[in-house]
C-alpha cells in the first residue's frame, strides 16, 4: 500500500504543471485539483508499467477524464463576474475573465485541443494521440476553437476601447 | 494571433493551484479504487455466471418424455445409459421402468447422489425425483417384475440421535412409488435412530424388506464406530396394504435373483429360497457355489431351469468373470445339478430371454470404449447368440426382471445437457467480450 518513491517524486515534481493544464481545461481551481487527483488515482494500477515515463500516460488520462466528466455530468462551467480575490488586484483582471469565458464557451474537446496545441505546444499528432482522435479532427477543432477565441477576444478589445 | 492566445493561456494558468494532497494519499486511493473495481468486476461476472447457470436449466431442458399408457408393454432398451450430471429428471410419473441405478446430479455449488431410471417403454434414461429417498450403496431400491412399482428407502426425522450407514441419510421407512400413477405409499417404522437396511426384494406383488432399528447399547467408545441392529423380515403388498412379519425366514436379502412371479434369495448352507407372494414357496439346493450379486444372479426360468455363475472360492471376491452354470430344479426335492454352459464366462446372469436362452453380462469394446453388454447365450449349445443391450456408465442396481424377455426398443441418444456452470461462465465471457467490443467501438467513434 506504500507509494513507491517514483510516484511520490513524479507527483511532487509535476503537480504544478499538471494543475496548470487542468485549470485551463476546467476553468476552476477546485475542479482542477479534483481532475488531477482523479487522473493520478486512475494511473496507480498501471504505475509499474509506466513508471519509466509516466507523463504522457498521466496527461492522456487527464484530458480524457475531463471530457468524460463533462459527458457524465453534462458539467459546464458557470462563469462568474468576479475572479478569486487574488486576481482582484491584477492589472489584467478583465482580460483574464474574458479568456476564461472564451475557453468556457468551447466544447471540452475543443478546449483540450487549444490547451494542448497552444499552451503545451504539442504537435497535431501528439494532440490527436492524447485525445484519442484523428489528426484531421484535431485540425478542425483547432480551427473552430481559434475562430471562436479570436471572435471573443476581439469583442473584448472593442468593449474595452 | 496564436502567440497572443498562448500568452493569455499562460497568464491564465498562473491562477491554477500549486499543490495537491500528499502523494501517499493518492496512492492509497488508487489502490482502493483498483480493489473496488476488481471486486465489482468479479462480482458482476459471478452474478452473470450464476444467472446464466440458473437460466440454463429451463432453457436447455429437453422436451417431455412420452409417458407410457397403463397398458403399454415393457420393452428392453438396447442401451442402459447413466444420465449425465446435468440431464434432467422425469417430469412426472415415468411409467414402467426397465432399470434403476445410482448416479450423480450436478448443482451450481455441490453435486449430489441420485437415482436414475431407464424407461421400460421408450428406453429414455433420466433422473428420478424420489421424495426423501436415501441414496447410498446400502440402500438400493428395487423394481417390481413388471417395472411398475419402485420400492426405496426413505429418510426423515428420527426421535433420537440418528445412526447412519456410510454417508447416507438415516433410513426411517420404506416407500413404494407407483411409476404409472405417481402415488407413493410409505411404511413408516417410527424408528428412534434410523434403520439398518438389509434388502428390498419383490416377489410378485409383494415387497419383502429387511431392516431393523439401530441399537445404541454401550458407549460410543464401546461401539467403536460399529452399529448393530436386530434385523426383521417384513412383507408388504402395497396395493392392498397387507403387511406381515413372517417368522423363521432368514434375514439375508442383500441380493436377489429373478424368478417368474417371485424372487430368489440366499438361504442356509448355500441354498436358495424361492419367494412367491408373501410365502417361501420352496428351497433350492445345488451342488456348486453360486455367486450372488445384487439383483442379477441367479435366475430361474419359467420351465424350472436355474442359471447362475460359479463362485469358485466363496471366501474370495474377485473382479473376474466366472463360468456360467445351468441346471434343472428337481420338482420334488428342489435339488439342482449344475453344469457349465460351454466355456461361457460372465460376471452374472441377468435373466432368462427364452426357454433356453439366458442373458449374461460381458465386456465388449464399442466406439473405442470398453463397455458392459448383455449377451444372449443358448444354454443347450453354449453358443453366444450376440449382444442385445449395452450399459453406458454405472450398471443399474435393480432391473424389472420381466424386461429380459421383452421386445427390444432403440433407446434415444443422450440429450444436449452441458454443465450449467460452464454455460454461466460462457455467458459471463460473452458479456465480457461484448463490453470490450462496445468500448472498442466507442473509442473508434471518438477517433472519427
Write down the mean pLDDT value for chain A: 82
Domain membership of residue B320 (yes or no) is yes
Number of domains in chain A: 2
Percent of chain A with pLDDT over 70: 81
Pairwise CB contact (< 8 Å): A118 & B18 = no
Angle ∠(B130,B131,B134) on CA atoms, nearest 5: 75
Q: How far apart are CA B399 and CA B391, in angstroms?
A: 13
Scanning every residue of chain A, which has its alpha carbon at the shortest distance from the alpha carbon of B13?
A: A20
Nearest-Cα distance to chain B for A100, in Å, is 8
Short-list A22, A24, A44, CA closest to A34 = A22
- pLDDT at B448 (0 to 100): 57
Kindly report the CATH number assigned to the domain that includes residue A153.
Answer: 1.10.10.10
Please check whether residues A61 and A106 belong to one and the same domain: no
Show residues of chain B in contact with A22, CB under 8 Å.
16
In this prediction the ipTM stands at 0.82
Please check whether residues A85 and A41 belong to one and the same domain: no
Which range among A130-144, B140-154, B206-220, B324-338 shows the weakest confidence by mean pLDDT? Answer: B206-220
Please check whether residues A89 and A124 belong to one and the same domain: yes
Nearest-Cα distance to chain A for B10, in Å, is 7
Instruction: Determine whether B119 is exposed, middle or buried from the number of CB atoms within 10 Å of its CB (0-12, 13-18, 19+).
Output: buried
Q: Which three cell numbers stand for residue B282?
A: 420352496
Short-list B309, B311, B332, CA closest to B379 = B309
In this prediction, residues B246-275 reach a mean pLDDT of 84
Short-list A144, A112, A150, CA closest to A25 = A112
Nearest-Cα distance to chain A for B26, in Å, is 6
Scanning every residue of chain A, which has its alpha carbon at the shortest distance from the alpha carbon of B14?
A: A20
Scanning every residue of chain B, which has its alpha carbon at the shortest distance from the alpha carbon of A127?
A: B447
In this prediction, residues B41-62 reach a mean pLDDT of 75
Domain boundary among B16, B45, B61: B61
Choose among B2, B13, B443: nearest Cβ to A24: B13
Show residues of chain B in contact with A99, CB under 8 Å.
8-9, 11-12
Q: Flag whether residue B157 sits within 8 Å of chain A, measured between CB atoms.
A: no
Q: How far apart are CA B307 and CA B291, in angstroms?
A: 11
- pLDDT at B363 (0 to 100): 85
In this prediction, residues B250-260 reach a mean pLDDT of 82
Please check whether residues A4 and A59 belong to one and the same domain: yes
Percent of chain B with pLDDT over 70: 90
Residues in contact with B25: Cβ distance below 8 Å, sequence separation at least 6, in sequence order = none
Split at pLDDT 50, 70, 90, the class of B47 is confident
Write down the mean pLDDT value for chain B: 85
Scanning every residue of chain B, which has its alpha carbon at the shortest distance from the alpha carbon of A30?
A: B17
Choose among B5, B15, B446: nearest Cβ to A87: B15
Interface of B with A in 26-45 (CB under 8 A): 26-31, 33-34
In this prediction, residues A26-41 reach a mean pLDDT of 91
- Give per-residue pLDDT as tens, B175-221: 999 999 999 999 999 888 888 888 899 999 999 999 888 876 655 55
Short-list B127, B145, B141, B130, CA closest to B74 = B145
- Give per-residue pLDDT as tens, A90-109: 666 777 778 888 888 888 88
Which range among A5-19, B156-170, B385-399 shows the weakest confidence by mean pLDDT? Answer: B156-170
Q: How far apart are CA B294 and CA B291, in angstroms?
A: 10
- Give per-residue pLDDT as tens, B295-319: 668 899 999 999 998 887 767 777 7
DSSP alpha helices (H): ranges in A51-134?
55-73, 85-88, 93-104, 108-114, 124-131
Number of domains in chain B: 2
Pairwise CB contact (< 8 Å): A41 & B26 = yes
Greatest CA span in chain B, whole angstroms? Answer: 127
Scanning every residue of chain A, which has its alpha carbon at the shortest distance from the alpha carbon of B23?
A: A8
Nearest-Cα distance to chain A for B437, in Å, is 17
Q: Can you list the pairs that B46-52 forms with residues at least 24 positions away whose Cβ atoms lie under 8 Å?
A: B46/B428, B48/B424, B48/B427, B48/B428, B48/B431, B49/B421, B49/B424, B49/B425, B49/B427, B49/B428, B50/B108, B50/B424, B51/B424, B51/B427, B52/B420, B52/B423, B52/B424, B52/B425, B52/B426, B52/B427, B52/B428
Please check whether residues A45 and A84 belong to one and the same domain: no
Q: Count of A–B CB contacts within 8 Å?
A: 127
Residue numbers of the domain that contains A42: 1-75
- Give per-residue pLDDT as tens, A107-135: 888 999 999 998 999 999 999 988 888 89
Choose among A1, A115, A149: nearest Cβ to B28: A1
Provide the whole-model pTM: 0.67
Please check whether residues A22 and A40 belong to one and the same domain: yes
Residue numbers of the domain that contains B39: 24-61
Please check whether residues A38 and A96 belong to one and the same domain: no
Please check whether residues A51 and A100 belong to one and the same domain: no
Please check whether residues A85 and A159 belong to one and the same domain: yes
Please check whether residues A57 and A116 belong to one and the same domain: no
Please check whether residues A146 and A87 belong to one and the same domain: yes
Split at pLDDT 50, 70, 90, the class of B1 is very low
How far is the CA of B316 from the CAs of A109, B313, B319, B320, B380, in angstroms?
87, 6, 10, 11, 30
- pLDDT at B402 (0 to 100): 93
Span between the terminal Cα atoms of chain B, in Å: 28
| H or E element that contains B62 | none
Q: Which three cell numbers stand for residue B77?
A: 432398451
How far is the CA of B432 from the CAs of B46, B214, B419, in angstroms?
12, 55, 20
- pLDDT at A88 (0 to 100): 45
Please check whether residues A63 and A40 belong to one and the same domain: yes
Percent of chain B with pLDDT over 90: 44
* Strand B335-336, strand B279-286: pairing: parallel
Residue A3 clears pLDDT 70, i.e. is over it? yes
- pLDDT at A75 (0 to 100): 46
Amino acid at each position: 500500500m506504500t507509494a513507491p518513491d517514483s510516484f511520490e517524486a513524479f507527483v511532487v515534481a509535476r503537480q504544478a504543471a499538471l494543475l496548470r493544464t487542468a485549470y485551463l481545461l476546467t476553468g476552476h481551481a477546485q475542479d482542477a485539483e479534483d481532475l488531477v487527483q482523479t487522473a493520478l488515482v486512475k494511473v496507480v494500477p498501471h504505475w509499474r508499467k509506466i513508471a519509466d515515463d509516466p507523463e504522457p500516460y498521466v496527461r492522456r488520462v487527464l484530458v480524457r477524464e475531463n471530457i468524460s466528466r463533462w459527458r457524465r455530468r453534462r458539467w459546464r462551467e458557470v462563469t462568474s463576474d468576479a475572479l478569486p480575490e487574488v486576481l482582484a488586484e491584477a492589472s489584467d483582471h478583465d482580460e483574464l475573465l474574458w479568456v476564461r469565458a472564451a475557453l468556457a464557451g468551447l466544447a471540452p474537446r475543443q478546449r483540450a485541443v487549444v490547451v494542448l496545441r497552444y499552451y503545451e505546444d504539442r504537435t497535431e499528432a501528439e494532440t490527436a494521440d492524447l485525445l484519442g482522435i484523428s489528426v484531421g479532427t484535431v485540425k478542425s477543432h483547432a480551427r473552430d476553437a481559434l475562430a471562436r477565441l479570436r471572435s471573443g477576444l476581439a469583442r473584448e478589445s472593442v468593449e474595452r476601447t | 494571433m496564436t502567440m497572443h492566445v498562448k500568452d493569455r493561456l499562460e497568464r491564465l494558468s498562473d491562477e491554477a493551484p500549486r499543490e495537491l494532497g500528499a502523494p501517499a494519499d493518492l496512492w492509497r486511493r488508487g489502490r482502493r479504487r483498483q480493489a473496488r473495481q476488481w471486486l465489482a468486476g468479479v462480482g458482476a461476472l459471478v452474478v452473470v455466471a450464476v444467472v446464466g447457470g440458473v437460466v440454463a436449466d429451463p432453457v436447455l431442458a429437453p422436451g417431455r418424455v412420452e409417458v407410457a399408457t397403463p397398458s403399454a408393454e415393457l420393452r428392453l432398451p438396447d442401451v442402459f445409459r447413466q444420465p449425465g450430471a446435468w440431464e434432467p429428471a422425469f417430469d412426472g410419473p415415468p411409467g414402467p421402468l426397465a432399470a434403476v441405478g445410482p448416479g450423480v446430479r450436478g448443482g451450481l455449488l455441490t453435486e449430489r447422489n441420485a437415482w436414475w431410471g431407464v424407461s421400460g417403454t421408450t428406453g429414455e434414461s433420466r433422473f428420478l425425483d424420489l421424495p426423501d429417498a436415501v441414496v447410498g450403496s446400502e440402500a438400493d431400491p428395487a423394481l417390481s417384475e413388471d417395472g411398475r412399482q419402485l420400492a426405496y428407502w426413505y429418510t426423515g426425522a428420527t426421535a433420537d440421535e440418528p445412526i447412519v450407514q456410510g454417508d447416507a441419510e438415516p433410513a426411517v421407512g420404506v416407500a413404494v412409488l407407483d411409476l404409472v400413477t405417481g402415488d407413493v405409499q410409505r411404511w413408516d417404522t417410527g424408528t428412534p435412530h434410523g434403520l439398518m437396511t438389509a434388502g428390498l426384494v419383490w416377489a410378485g406383488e409383494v415387497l419383502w424388506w429387511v431392516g431393523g432399528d439401530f441399537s445404541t447399547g454401550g458407549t460410543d467408545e464401546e461401539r467403536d464406530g460399529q452399529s448393530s441392529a436386530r434385523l426383521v423380515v417384513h412383507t408388504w403388498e402395497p396395493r392392498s396394504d397387507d403387511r406381515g412379519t413372517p417368522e423363521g425366514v432368514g434375514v439375508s436379502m442383500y441380493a436377489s435373483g429373478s424368478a417368474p412371479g417371485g424372487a430368489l434369495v440366499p438361504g442356509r448352507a448355500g441354498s436358495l429360497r424361492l419367494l412367491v407372494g408373501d410365502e417361501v414357496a420352496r428351497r433350492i439346493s445345488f451342488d456348486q457355489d453360486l455367486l450372488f450379486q445384487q439383483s442379477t444372479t441367479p435366475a430361474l426360468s419359467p420351465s424350472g431351469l436355474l442359471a447362475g455363475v460359479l463362485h469358485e472360492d466363496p471366501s474370495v471376491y474377485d473382479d473376474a468373470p466366472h463360468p456360467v452354470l445351468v441346471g434343472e430344479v428337481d420338482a420334488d426335492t428342489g435339488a439342482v445339478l449344475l453344469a457349465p454352459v460351454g466355456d461361457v464366462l460372465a460376471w452374472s446372469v441377468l435373466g432368462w430371454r427364452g426357454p433356453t436362452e439366458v442373458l449374461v453380462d460381458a465386456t465388449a469394446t464399442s466406439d473405442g470404449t470398453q463397455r458392459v453388454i448383455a449377451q444372449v447365450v443358448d444354454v443347450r449349445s453354449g453358443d453366444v447368440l450376440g449382444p442385445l443391450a449395452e450399459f453406458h456408465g454405472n450398471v443399474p442396481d435393480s432391473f424389472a426382471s420381466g424386461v429380459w424377455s421383452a421386445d427390444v426398443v432403440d433407446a434415444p441418444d443422450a440429450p444436449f445437457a452441458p454443465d450449467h456452470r460452464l454455460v454461466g461462465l460462457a455467458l459471463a465471457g460473452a458479456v465480457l467480450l461484448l463490453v470490450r467490443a462496445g468500448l472498442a467501438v466507442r473509442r473508434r467513434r471518438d477517433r472519427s
